[in-house]
Amino acid sequence: MRKIRNQKGDISLLGILIVLIGITMISGFFNITKKSWVKSELQSILDISTINALSQSIDRDKMREQIYQIKGTGKYVDTRGGYPTYGDDPAYKDVIKNNLSNELKKNIKASNGTIISYDIKHFDSNLEYNSKGVNSNNSSQLKPQLYMEAVILLDIKNVKDFDNLNSYNLEFKNAISSNISNVTVVETKKDGITTIAVRTTSRIVFK
């Protein structure tokens, strides 16, 4: 009798272990699936946020007069008369960055709590009159263009058992200035939060 009870106990213990292993494997599967979804969702959020931020930064009334000016600043490209003139104002970058931050707040709400927070670690922008991406061999194709580049850190909810990323340094070439920039991502393992660094570049070409 003792031997039979021991066998039953062994079987019960084995069953519990199998169930626990199964739960862990299922959790891991869903976590991997969630990560894949999060990556594509993040890129979608960033694409929408950056384009909207650029679009909102342009003074629409001025644009009707062929003056492409950042709202509330002296940064502009005036294309009237066929000879562009320029105005500069360093404050224009703050306007675009604030618009980006507001767009991120709005669009991140749609993640239903998956994205906990964000931090814009690197930002650059420029308003130019050139033919980049249009037709570099034809001066008639010169267009006003508004650029933005950003590296954004996003804190994502994760399963603690699969939260094992190390801290790392992201080095990249600035698409606007061509300078080399660095962003450090600090990770704490097993805290249930994974920090993802996403680099995004966007541009609006005006007709």
Convert the pLDDT of each residue in 116-170 to its tens digit: 888 998 899 999 998 877 765 555 688 899 999 988 888 877 655 445 666 767 7
- The arithmetic mean of pLDDT across residues 192-202, rounded, is 81
Full residue range of the structural domain in which residue 6 is found? 2-205
* Domain count of the fold of the chain: 1
- The arithmetic mean of pLDDT across residues 1-21, rounded, is 49
H helices present in 58-182, as ranges: 60-63, 92-108
For position 30, what pLDDT does the model report? 43
For strand 193-205 and strand 180-185, is the pairing parallel, antiparallel, or unpaired? unpaired
